[in-house]
Amino acid sequence: MDATAQTTRILFEQFSPWAINLFYAFGYAAIACFLYGCYVQVRKYRRGQPDASWGQLAARFGDMARTMLTHRTLKRRDHAAGAAHAMIFFSFIALFVGTATITLEVDILKPLFGITFWKGGFYLLFSLVLDLAGLGLIGGLLYMMYRRKWMALPKLDYTRPDRQPGDPDYDRSAYRREDWAFLWTLILIGITGYVLEASRLVWLSGDAGVWDSRFWSPVGALLAHSLMGLGLDASGAGTLRGGLWWFHGLLALSFIALIPFTKVKHIFTASASLMFRDPLAGRRLPKVPETQEAAGYEAITDLTWKNLLHLDACTKCGRCHEACPARTVGTPLSPRDVILSLREFANHALSASSLPDKAELSIHGKGPGQVFMETLWSCRTCLACVEICPVAVEHVPIIVQMRRKLVEEGEMEPILQKTLQTIHKTGNSFGESKRKRGAWTKGLPFPVKDARKEPVETLWFVGDYAAFDPRNQKVTQAFARLLHTAGEDFGLLLDGELNAGNDVRRVGEEGLYEHLASSNIATLEGCEFKRIVTTDPHSFNTIRNEYPEFADPALRGLFQIEHYSTVLLKLIQSGRLTLKKRLSHRVTFHDPCHLGRFNKGYDAPRELLALIGCTLVEMPRNRDNSFCCGAGGGRIWIPDPVGMEKPAQNRMKEAAGLPDIDVFVVACPKDLTMFEDALKTTPGCEGRFVVRELIELIAECVEAADPAPAAPAEAPALA
């Protein structure tokens, strides 16, 4: 039918030319305002330092598009919010593409080439899709409103743990108002869109070309019927449509104009932030360039453009606020607030046409937008915030950069200063003589090779806690016995080993880290070995992810390092270690930050637990959501405030909430120290279960007496 083929919507129907011109004037003004806002934002980013993240743009773009299309990061730990966002997101895209299609025909193709395509079947399908998209938009927005108003989610409470009531930036009610303004604006655009459509249908109900195809806009048609039922006639609908048209149009144009100035800009900043995500953020901290005199961030202009972009990407979703162990126990740190503070600071200081004086750019201090020293020192660099951020904000590298400045200034706990000096002097955090690093081997019934003197298959980097802490030495000895039993050819660096530096670097003592890393690298380069093994996830992380940057490029292959969990798993699976006994414990497992979140080593420890017969009962916070023991980022060297719950105690309570657990299994020397201590000091937990290292459980199974009565107790060592 020819009539259907010509079906379309007449734009500006019955508008006088001056009204159309007026609308175009508003449109251009909105676009100008939008472009100016973009310019101001880009100028702000360009006031940051350079960053080398421009490589592999196509791959980065693909990664970003995948993340956005799947909404993977938004659905994590809050599926409903992610789903509602997806409804808004995809509806918004549909509506935007729809509007852009009309512009394409009316403002470009038709005037220039005389081409029209927005008609007939395409037009009808277009009407249907956009009509449904409006429904998605409004539905998603309604859920978001419900969530804000009635769910009372703690993560959406913007009050700050590091400020007092009465401080100018304590409650951040402006953010709440902005959130509501955003939701209301969008939902009003959606609702007025429908009413507009319905009133147009009623107004033109006499025109068969319009009226007969009304159910291609089902929501609009139903609304039109309702309005007619309420007594709206064609002329009344015409009047309603006239007023509503301007309201809807101006609201939508204002929305576009305000994008760069409001949270709406996350449409662009969050996408860009995802695009420039660093997969190693926090796992590999930024090097200080050799030519750069001062280390760390002092002024807002010391941040890179990428940092500044990340600040703008934050949508205050509160996932990091919820995950942060320091915030959970009540220290004055919320990763969200560090990001928001710096963002407020950047918007204030870097948005003007000229830069303020250097003195006004310092981000350290007690003023609005500045970050407290106590806040920075509360961080355990556990990466819970970076890992969960749906828009790839990288909090920890910024915090460490700011700490570097504090270290340069000596703004830290005296006890931390002492520890750093001790590490510099003795090479370990225990202040022990270098000669004593191998003392734990004296308790072994076999000699251990010095990897500096003879070639070995496996070079074992022991780490400070495993080497010097008396409780951990027992675990270290057990691992040595396991390697020996399996016939593994292994050796140590003995007094040639220094603290690996992982935590020194996370404290922000970059100079000391450079010293430790380069000394260890030089020692490693002088040894002959096939792979490195460690029982310490902290050493594991820095050797695996950070040492290669400090080594001769030709020797980067040297840093093939494995955590003991994968080593033992292979030894058992290949039959080189025999389990002579199975344990029937009900256990829970604590993922060490540096093994799990940092390096995705979630599975090997769990497989080992299954192999030795343990029943694993997961804690509510497990794997990527594992809750830091509180020792990371150098906090093991700084006593936690008295009278405040420690993160490890919080974790003990979580484990105590599981039914009938026998053993709380850890796979990190620092975890063993932290949790054995916390178990004793957490009311109601002692006696409920014990803390054991996974190595100890495996050794118990491997070293059990042979079932055959005549067999010797100890398995004979392989050569």
Task: Catalog residues that contact other proteins under the rule CB under 8 A.
Answer: 288, 293, 295, 407-408, 410, 412, 414, 417, 420-421, 424-426, 432-436, 509-512, 514-515
The whole-angstrom separation of Cα 505 and Cα 616 is: 34
Nearer to other proteins, 432 or 706 (CB): 432
Beta-carbon-side half-sphere exposure of residue 256 (alpha carbons within 13 Å): 16
Minimum separation from the CB atom of position 425 to other proteins (A): 6
Look at strands 663-666 and 586-589 and give their pairing: parallel
Residues with Cβ within 8 Å of residue 487, at least 6 apart in sequence: 576, 717, 718, 719
Q: Which is nearer to other proteins, 489 or 549 (CB)?
A: 549
Least gap, CB of 409 to other proteins (angstroms): 8
Residue 469 or residue 662: which is nearer to other proteins going by CB? 469
Distance CA 141, CA 184 (A): 9
Q: 169 vs 510, which CB is nearer to other proteins?
A: 510
Q: Least separation, in Å, of the C-beta of 48 and other proteins? A: 22
Q: Give how far Cα 168 sits from Cα of 369, 374, 677, Å.
A: 10, 19, 40
DSSP 639: P
**Least gap, CB of 331 to other proteins (angstroms):** 22
CB of 497 to other proteins, least distance (A): 16
Pairing of strands 531-534, 490-492: unpaired
Q: Where are the alpha helices (DSSP H) in 378-534?
A: 384-388, 395-409, 414-426, 464-468, 470-485, 502-507, 510-525
At closest approach, how far in Å is the CB of 513 from other proteins? 8
Token reading at 631: 């020792």
DSSP assigned state of 290: T
Q: Where are the alpha helices (DSSP H) in 291-363?
A: 305-313, 319-323, 325-328, 335-350
Nearest CB to other proteins, comparing residues 214 and 405: 405
Which one-letter amino acid corresponds to residue 374? E
The side-by-side arrangement of strands in the sheet containing 586-589 is 615-616, 586-589, 663-666, 690-693
> What are the backbone dihedrals phi and psi of residue 459, each rounded to the nearest 5 degrees, phi first?
-100, 120
Nearer to other proteins by C-beta: 178 or 432?
A: 432
141-146's contacts with Cβ under 8 Å and 24+ in sequence apart are 141/88, 141/183, 141/186, 141/187, 141/190, 142/187, 143/80, 143/84, 143/87, 144/81, 144/84, 144/85, 144/88, 144/183, 145/183, 145/187
- Least separation in angstroms between residue 645's CB and other proteins is 30
* Residue (355 or 439) nearer to other proteins, CB: 439
Q: Among residues 190 and 508, whose Cβ is nearest to other proteins?
A: 508
Contact 374, 332 (CB under 8 A): yes
Taking the complex as a whole, the smallest distance from the CB of residue 151 to other proteins amounts, in Å, to 47
Q: Between residues 509 and 591, which has the closer beta carbon with respect to other proteins?
A: 509
Q: How far is the CB of 410 from other proteins (least distance, A)?
A: 4
What is the rounded CA–CA span in Å between residue 589 and residue 669?
14
Please state the length of the chain. 719
Which amino acid, 574? S
Q: Which is nearer to other proteins, 40 or 439 (CB)?
A: 439
Report which of 515, 688, 655, 640 is spatially closest to residue 588, judged by C-alpha positions. Answer: 655
Residue 434 vs 623, nearer CB to other proteins:
434
Spatial separation of the C-alpha atoms in residues 290 and 625, rounded to whole Å: 36
Pick the closer one to other proteins by CB: 55 or 414: 414
Name the minimum Å distance from CB 507 to other proteins: 11
Could you tell me the smallest distance in angstroms from the CB atom of residue 434 to other proteins? 8
Least distance to other proteins from the beta carbon of 417, Å?
A: 5
What letters, b where the CB count within 10 A reaches 16 and e where it falls short, cover 473-505? bbbbbbbbbbbbbbebbbbbbbebbbbbbbbbb
